[in-house]
């Protein structure tokens, strides 16, 4: 795409009932490929701690790591709308620290929006970042950074009482200054109600088809993830098997001496080998 996507484009899509396509991506190479598609939004998620670094939760992701990979994605996809994910302990300590860390994503990595996993305790944090001139995506529903507190995740808002609480929280986040919502792992009926009640773009992650847009992580979309995946994760390819086969092909060619061949090697200029051999003889 030639024109840089902005928050105005996302709001227009919401008002015109056009779905927003988002992908969570963590590296330059993948981002460059995504930039050649119709995907409008990339989220550089703290799920990179799992997908890239092999941890069993998102908690080990640090600010420096997240800023570095967000900047890499920006370089790969300069025109896609870019959302950066605030990692664990980057916004919980104080509002001032939250604003400073959010600003790093904007100033150092070119992010256009900052995502924060929120409960009612973070209304002031959302307001502080918004008041500082940055767009904020409030992440509600399942919040992976709370894993150490709750032990395991389960679908959110599956009862009327839980649904009322989440609907109220969504409204509070909008009032506090959020520019967008991300709803993860929430009953589809409730996510749709929130989407209809909200004038801002609502992105769903495992929250049914009623949201304004959808997001999945790139490794799941590509079929790179091996082992258990969330119920909502859909693969559109099976690249893991293809990649394993490709590496095996490479291995066999190296072992057999077929790679590298002449075409994949550098060579001396014409006549220089003969000169070298004469020079070598003269030195013996």
Specify the number of domains making up the chain. 2
For every residue of 140-152, DSSP letters joined together read EES-GGGHHHHSS
Please name the residues in contact with 47: beta carbons below 8 A apart, sequence gap of 6 or more: 24, 58, 85, 144, 217
Same structural domain, 175 and 96: yes
Same structural domain, 131 and 267: no
Same structural domain, 33 and 154: yes
Nearest of 67, 25, 54, 22 to residue 40 by alpha carbon: 22
Same structural domain, 23 and 138: yes
3-class state of residue 156 by DSSP:
strand
pLDDT in tens, the chain (284 residues): 679 999 999 999 999 999 999 999 999 999 999 999 999 999 999 999 999 999 999 999 999 999 999 999 999 999 999 999 999 999 999 999 999 999 999 999 999 999 999 999 999 999 999 999 999 999 999 999 998 887 778 899 999 999 999 999 999 999 999 999 999 999 999 999 999 999 999 999 999 999 999 999 999 999 999 988 888 999 999 999 999 999 999 999 999 999 999 999 999 999 999 999 999 998 75
Any domain includes 1? no
List phi, psi (to 5°) of 222.
-80, -10
3-state helix, strand, coil in the chain (%, to 5): 45, 15, 40
Same structural domain, 160 and 274: no
Same structural domain, 178 and 251: no
Domain of 71: which CATH number? 3.20.20.60
Same structural domain, 43 and 93: yes
Same structural domain, 25 and 80: yes
Any domain includes 2? no
Q: Which of 117, 156, 184, 192 is catalytic?
A: 184
- The whole domain housing 199 covers 7-237
Same structural domain, 274 and 178: no
184 is catalytic: yes
Any domain includes 263? yes
């Amino acid at each position: 795409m030639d024109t840089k996507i902005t928050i105005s484009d996302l709001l227009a899509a919401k008002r015109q009932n056009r779905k927003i396509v988002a992908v969570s991506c963590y590296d330059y190479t993948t981002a460059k490929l995504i930039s050649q598609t119709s995907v409008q939004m990339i989220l550089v998620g703290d799920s990179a701690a799992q997908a890239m670094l092999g941890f069993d939760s998102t908690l080990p992701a640090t600010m420096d790591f997240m800023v570095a990979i967000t900047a890499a994605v920006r370089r790969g996809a300069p025109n896609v709308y870019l959302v950066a994910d605030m990692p664990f302990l980057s916004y919980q300590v104080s509002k001032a620290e939250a604003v400073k860390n959010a600003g790093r994503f904007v100033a150092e990595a070119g992010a256009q929006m900052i995502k924060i996993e929120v409960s009612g305790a973070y209304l002031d944090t959302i307001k502080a970042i918004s008041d500082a001139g940055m767009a904020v995506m409030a992440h509600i529903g399942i919040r992976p950074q709370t894993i150490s507190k709750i032990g395991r995740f389960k679908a959110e808002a599956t009862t009327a009482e839980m649904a009322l609480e989440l609907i109220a929280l969504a409204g509070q986040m909008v009032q506090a200054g959020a520019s967008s919502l991300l709803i993860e792992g929430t009953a589809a009926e409730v996510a749709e109600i929130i989407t209809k009640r909200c004038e801002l773009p609502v992105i769903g992650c495992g929250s049914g088809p009623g949201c304004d847009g959808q997001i999945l992580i790139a490794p799941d979309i590509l079929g790179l993830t091996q082992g258990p995946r969330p119920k909502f994760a859909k693969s559109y390819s099976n690249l893991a098997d293809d990649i394993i086969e490709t590496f095996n092909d490479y291995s066999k060619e190296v072992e057999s001496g077929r790679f590298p061949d002449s075409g994949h090697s550098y060579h001396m200029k014409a006549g220089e080998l003969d000169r070298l051999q004469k020079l070598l003889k003269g030195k013996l």
